[in-house]
Amino acid sequence: MRPSPTRDARRKLISVAAISAALLAGMTTTVAAQTSTSSPSTSTSTEKADVTPAAQAAAAPAERLIVGYKSGAAEAKSNKAADADAEAKGKKAGEDLDFQRRLGTGAALVDLGAELKKADVADVIAQYQADPQVAYVVPDRLNKPQADPNDTEYSKQWDLFESTAGMRVPGAWSTSTGSGVTVAVIDTGYVAHSDVAANIVGGYDFISDTAVSVDGDGRDSNPADPGDWYATDECGTGTGSSSSSWHGTHVAGTIAAVTNNSKGVAGIAYNAKISPLRVLGKCGGYDSDIIDAITWASGGTVSGVPANTNVAKVINMSLGGSGACTSATQTAINGAVNRGTTVVVAAGNDNDNASKYSPASCSNVITVAATGRSGSRASYSNYGSIVDISAPGGDMSTATANGIYSTLNSGTKTASTESYAYYQGTSMATPHIVGLVALMKSANPSLTPAQIESAIKTNARALPGTCSGGCGAGLADATKTVQAVATSGGSTGGTTFSSTSAVSIPDAGSAVESPITVSGRSGNAPSTLQVGVDITHTYRGDLVIDLVAPDGSTYRLKSSSTSDSADNVSATYTVDASSETANGTWKLRVQDTAAQDTGTINSWKLTF
């Protein structure tokens, strides 16, 4: 083995994402909160051997390759032969490779050399993949200790980590923690809690009826929850009475409670931000207020309400009422999804078919059923063919500790001291999926709502328990889902290259460009090159969008139109780029052709 005294000092780590990309290149490729009434608040498929891209954790670094040779190869047993092979392949790739040692399995550990770039890594991998004596080549990943969060009540959060029916959240945290994603919680508002406060951003109070708002006024920029208690029969004959639920705060804690702060609970997407939108007050909340909240949360315009500076990429609606989805509510949801916002809703707590309830029965949403600690459908949870996925919602019929533990307030009417409590309901299951969506969107910002829903369903695991009536694709698996979208971009095949660097689009100005460098591909681009675009703009009809190939050729994706007055561009275009060399720098070129509106290229991607 040739000595390499300078390598230990440099420790130049190559991203596993770059190595994975190179590996893939060789492959073909009347509304009430939905909390159960028994809770305190009534209310790339390929045949390339041993290359598994989903297992290549995109966030992990590596500086070496592990090369497995076929049993008959000289390099499988001879260190000298493996060393000579590394030297020869390095020479062909123009790099200085170094055989380090033999692993216990017989595989060879090969150092990648100093100052390698992505294209260099691709060349090296290609040399090994082309060798018929090589059984596999994978990155030597750098692993780190996986400690539990130090939050004092974390042990009560079985729903996150238990092997039987937990959502397998901790394994996703090494890839994503929700950074850069805003979640709108359309609910009762938010009561101050120190375990969530650092992740709260501006929201809005959309309750227009003062009898419902009980805060002395109508709509305003203060989404504080004053309490939603009511006296006996105050909400109709036979409704009984109820203490304040602080429902929105419980939901917010499940999604994004501050984590590793030696206090309270851990949030699923603990680096995401929560924008509380108040629509539920005394006795519930009206469709009209909820519709405006959906529109505003996703970046749409609501008359009399200032523009939203905290546009959400995912909306949590742990609420519902009887009756099928109306055209009015469906229109608002469609608008949000068209603007690129994923909408997640509770299936309902009536042990009934969810098709009878709204917004559970709406299209373009992810409808969530609840499971208990054993993994069976919770006794109260709605079910049916419109349910998309299940998530832990708790079932306290056997023990309080089998509920979902999160942030709350001890006040029975008005706010008192902050606290924590167990709740159960599809209201509690919904924020589990919302937290997962935030992790996914942070790991891969270019994912569309349709891709997000598909990935959650595809990567779900079989329900550990039983479900009568239909519980969707199974129990959501956070680790598997986040790893899948981080490595494959949520696509069903091929390799994805993406850019998440924001580029401002000047009003009626010159065209701007966002580049993506493609490497490790062979030959030309496909005739069905997928171009995913995520652009925020207040009048998308002003925009002209082109794809620019490495040789400067342009492909028109979108033309300007005076009749297209909607917001934002969240779309995937198919381009016949078969005449273009795949490797090189591709650009998304965007120009605003008219005055009065501005925007931003948030992200875009190419899927080969």
Catalytic residue positions, numbered:
187, 247, 427
Q: How far is CA 158 from CA 193, 412, 531, 607, in A?
A: 22, 27, 40, 37
What does residue 68 show for φ and ψ, rounded to 5 degrees? -100, 125
Write out the DSSP string of 255-275.
HH---SSSSS---TTTTSEEE
Alpha-carbon span 68 to 138, nearest angstrom: 9
If residue 39 lies in a helix (H) or strand (E), which one and from where to where? none
Alpha-carbon span 454 to 456, nearest angstrom: 6
Q: How far is CA 375 from CA 223, 388, 463, 479, 568, in A?
A: 35, 16, 6, 17, 40
What does residue 108 show for φ and ψ, rounded to 5 degrees? -100, 140
The two three-digit tokens of residue 33, written as one number: 């909160």
Starting at the edge strand found earlier in the chain, the sheet holding 32-33 runs 32-33, 319-322, 357-358
- The residues near 322 (Cβ < 8 Å, ≥ 6 apart) are 30, 356, 357, 358
Nearest alpha carbon to residue 252 among 376, 409, 396, 403? 409
Alpha-carbon span 484 to 459, nearest angstrom: 8
Torsion angle of the four alpha carbons 149, 155, 161, 167, in this order, in degrees rounded to the nearest 10: -110
Cis check for the bond before 359: say yes or no (omega within 30 of 0). Answer: yes
The two three-digit tokens of residue 527, written as one number: 């005739």
The two three-digit tokens of residue 10, written as one number: 């440099």
- Mark 330-369 as b/e (b = at least 16 C-beta within 10 Å): bebbebbbbbbbbbbbbbbbbebbbbbbbbbbbebbbbbb
